[in-house]
Amino acid sequence: MKRFHQGSKPPARVTFTAAEPAYSVYGWSVKVERPAMEFSRLAKASRRGFTLSGSGSATVTTPGVYAPRHTYAVTVGGKTSRLKASRRGRLRIAVPLSRGNTAQQFTPRAATRVFRTRVKIR
């Protein structure tokens, strides 16, 4: 019973797929802005980075695994900038994907294109 009270450690890498425009998993939070309903996927998310798939643009907030108020080099799709972790050790990262698809995924007129953006954190 002690194990249930303590809970388990989150996995070293997280992969999660959702249709909702905002979701959270193991401390990772994703909010996607897009014109039509479709899936997005947070893949291989770890303290070193992640890949986000979908369309539109997103904001990804990491779990509190970084040194509070420390500055990190964050590379989003090849462009590097410096971001400061919050007082809770979280980074808030803007992730552009593409112009959003206009038709809901898996509908008769949908020609859904999926875009991927890789984010590296150092």
**The total number of structural domains that make up the chain:** 1
Whether residue 58 is contained in a domain is answered as yes
Q: What is the pLDDT of residue 5?
A: 65
pTM over cut 0.85: yes
Q: What is the pLDDT of residue 29?
A: 98
Tell me what percent of the residues of the chain surpass a pLDDT of 90: 75
Whether residue 6 is contained in a domain is answered as no
Beta-bridged to residue 117, according to DSSP, are 52
Residue 106 belongs to domain spanning: 12-121
Range 26-32, long-range pairs (CB < 8 A, 24+ positions): 26/63, 27/62, 27/63, 27/64, 27/65, 28/60, 28/61, 28/62, 28/63, 29/60, 29/61, 30/58, 30/59, 30/60, 30/61, 31/58, 31/59, 32/56, 32/57, 32/58
Whether residue 44 is contained in a domain is answered as yes
Whether residue 86 is contained in a domain is answered as yes
Give every strand in the sheet of 22-25, ordered side by side: 22-25, 28-33, 56-61, 92-98
Tokens of 93: 């990262």
